[in-house]
Chain A
Amino acid sequence: MTILATRNDVEIKNVVKRFGSNTVLNGINLEIKQGELLTLLGPSGCGKTTTLNLIAGFLEADEGDVYIKGKNVTHIPPYKRDLGMVFQTYSLFPHMTVYENLDFGLRLRKVPKPKKQNRIARALDLVKMSGLEHRYPRELSGGQRQRVAIARALVVEPELLLLDEPLSNLDAKLRHELRAEIKRLQKEIGVTTIFVTHDQEEALSMSDRVVVMNGGKIEQISSPTTIYNHPETEFVFQFIGKSNCFHGTVAEINNRKISVQLEDGWVTFVDADNIMGSERTCRPGDEVKLYIRPEKLSLASAEQSGHLEHFHKATITQMNYLGASWEIDATLLGKSVQILTPMYDASWQIGKEVMIGWNPSDIMLIKK
């Protein structure tokens, strides 16, 4: 079993895909482990849907190969791949009942009737849709339709489950609900799942690993926490979550601590582990950009400034109450920064001076 557990269910090797003169995938390499939930995340046009369509077989790679369970499927049509897929538009067959929709794939697989009924009942139970077998898709709500679509994909016991932005047509509440449910189902069944989304929150909350794509290339493949806290590229930092950016020059490097002089002469430290980019090194004198997340900045009142080492003076320009937290815009070193904090101090007012501070391990650095 240990051998199986580390086996790759999908391997994509050096895949290039062009539409006319437009290269949408430029040498993609990807390995998907058995039983994992992997998310393809990126802005529209990044190639995530194209990658999914290559795995599904709706598109054929111009170069490179696609393997599913060790078998080269590059030139095999989708109907011979034995996959399950859930589409953005639900794509239930409108002229068939819920039961008939689920039966469609089983009939093609010539599953005997008693077994078939059993599997359909189980699949509907799994997505909490029992009792609605004889409804037509038209008679179901958006959330119910997507549940049936998931059941239809799972009932054939596919080699892989492909999810193409399945939640994007649902309202926020349903989206959260189904997000948790898909995650639960996936772990329960253990089917290797590839999930395409442009919603970073969805990607971070559901996945075992996240693949961030941009411009037909893979930027980073990591666990959600690594993607968020230790992005490897500037793109990943900016695409996932919000970011503040400062410009500076590397002053000196001392014992894994890099000191960076910011524009007004103020010096801050950065952990050497936090260098982004392909080289992951820098030298004194290098022009660099520093990135930090809004929730990693801390605020203190101007009066407390005396006790704090890494704090800097800033002026509040805007305060937005978000319920669970405050979103505060301030001017720091002549630049607008955003701070996200669950705390509130009555002395923080628009136009007032506050102190902003950070931890060296929370700053990411990239060479210009």
Chain B
Amino acid sequence: MESVRHHAHQEVIREPATIPEPIKTKPRKKKKAYLPGLLLLLPILLFIFGFFVVPMLYILYLSFIYTDSPNATNAVYSLKNYALFFTDSYYLSSLWITVKVSLYTVLVSLLLGYPVALTMAKSSPRIRGYIALLIASPLLVSIVVRNFGWYLLLLPNGTINSILTSLGIVSAPLKLLFSEVGVVIGLSNAYLPFMILAIATSLYNIDPSLERAGAILGASPMRTFFSITLPLSLPGIVSGCVLVFSMSMSAYVTPALMGGANVPMMPIVAYDQINNLLRWTFGSALSYVLLATTMLLVTVFTRGFEKSRFREVFR
């Protein structure tokens, strides 16, 4: 349990690197105005530098060191760790599984989350507050506790399978736990609040008279939704997807508990290399491959939307 907690902590620290930072607008003021602001930021800058930038750079450094065995003294600078990764089908399939599971998680939480966000946007501020509280409430329960809760439901003799078999819908219990399905269920459950709140925020910003303008011009509610509401909520969809995708890519606890060895996602493989096999340098390379993949996909996705037909809504 101790090791799980330790790693979950690392996971939390690594996440910000994968989320594109909002574009900072430079205030055009005299240089003096920066100074007090800078002083206020100094503690957090030092904290991030010491506990995030330095370790990340150290891991990057480690990833370029190759040794035959953990306690060998013949360490050399080399790209061999990366070469090993890209030539071994086990590691490549691990990366593919990670991307696949993350994409499914994004899809599931988008489809489940959008209607909730829409409901929130249409409600009065009071109802909106209650819904937001309900959405955020699972976050109050530890992810480990929630995962063990899912066990009871998803095990071969768990609640869901008992109901399905007793109703005769399936003849044999479905493999829900220790499978990609289980991981997607667990991750969607964990990250749904982020998706909902991201989309809801962008829906709040839509001028309600735009829907009225659509209606008066002759568009049915369905048409108005697809022509006006949906495109205008794209910034929220994109940021929700980016958030959920990057969190899924780097998730450790849920894939470990819900998928186990059957779903070897990258964080699990990296953890295994470092903690069990003590191959720090190869584990570091795995971490950087994961980070680079996440950043690449997120950038391509975001840029794709920003240059789409609806680029105007991203301004």
Chain A residues proximal to chain B, CB less than 8 Å: 56-58, 77-85, 87-89, 91-96, 104-105, 108-109, 136, 138, 152-153, 156, 162
CB of A82 within 8 A of CB of B218, answer yes
Main secondary structure of the interface of B (DSSP, over half): helix
CB-defined contacts of B313 to chain A, threshold 8 Å = 94-95
CB of B212 within 8 A of CB of A105, answer no
Once bound together, how far apart are the Cα atoms of A77 and B210, in whole Å? 16
Residue from A91, A92, A96, A108 within 8 A of B223 (CB atoms) = A108
Minimum CB–CB distance from B228 to chain A (whole Å) comes to 6
CB of A152 within 8 A of CB of B215, answer no
CB of B232 within 8 A of CB of A95, answer yes
CB-defined contacts of A57 to chain B, threshold 8 Å = 215-216
**Chain A residue at minimal CB-CB distance from B309:** A95
CB of B312 within 8 A of CB of A105, answer no
CB-defined contacts of B215 to chain A, threshold 8 Å = 57-58, 77-79
Once bound together, how far apart are the Cα atoms of A56 and B214, in whole Å? 12
**Chain A residue at minimal CB-CB distance from B310:** A95
Residue from A78, A94, A95 within 8 A of B212 (CB atoms) = A78
CB-defined contacts of A138 to chain B, threshold 8 Å = 312, 315
Once bound together, how far apart are the Cα atoms of A79 and B217, in whole Å? 6
CB-defined contacts of A162 to chain B, threshold 8 Å = 216
CB of B231 within 8 A of CB of A95, answer yes
Is the CB of B89 closer than 8 A to any CB of chain A? no
CB of A89 within 8 A of CB of B218, answer no
CB-defined contacts of B207 to chain A, threshold 8 Å = 89, 91
**Chain A residue at minimal CB-CB distance from B223:** A108
Is the CB of B220 closer than 8 A to any CB of chain A? yes
Chain B count of residues within 8 A CB distance of the other chain = 23
Minimum CB–CB distance from A308 to chain B (whole Å) comes to 56
Number of A-B contacts (CB under 8 A): 76
Query: Can you list the 5 inter-chain pairs with the closest CB atoms, starting with the nearest?
Result: A105-B217, A108-B218, A91-B213, A91-B209, A78-B215
Once bound together, how far apart are the Cα atoms of A138 and B313, in whole Å? 10
CB of A79 within 8 A of CB of B219, answer yes
CB-defined contacts of B218 to chain A, threshold 8 Å = 79-80, 82, 105, 108-109, 156
CB-defined contacts of B232 to chain A, threshold 8 Å = 94-95
Once bound together, how far apart are the Cα atoms of A105 and B214, in whole Å? 8
Once bound together, how far apart are the Cα atoms of A79 and B222, in whole Å? 11
CB of A104 within 8 A of CB of B216, answer no
CB-defined contacts of A96 to chain B, threshold 8 Å = 312
Known contacts A83-B216, A87-B209: does B228 contact A93 (CB below 8 Å)?
A: yes
Known contacts A89-B207, A138-B315: does B213 contact A108 (CB below 8 Å)?
A: no
Once bound together, how far apart are the Cα atoms of A104 and B220, in whole Å? 12
CB-defined contacts of B227 to chain A, threshold 8 Å = 93, 104
Extra A-B contacts (9), CB below 8 Å, given A82-B218, A94-B232: A78-B215, A79-B221, A81-B216, A91-B207, A93-B214, A93-B227, A94-B312, A105-B218, A153-B216
Minimum CB–CB distance from B238 to chain A (whole Å) comes to 14
Once bound together, how far apart are the Cα atoms of A109 and B223, in whole Å? 13
CB of A87 within 8 A of CB of B213, answer yes
Once bound together, how far apart are the Cα atoms of A162 and B209, in whole Å? 14
Minimum CB–CB distance from A294 to chain B (whole Å) comes to 38
Once bound together, how far apart are the Cα atoms of A248 and B213, in whole Å? 53
CB-defined contacts of A83 to chain B, threshold 8 Å = 216
Once bound together, how far apart are the Cα atoms of A57 and B211, in whole Å? 13
Once bound together, how far apart are the Cα atoms of A275 and B289, in whole Å? 89
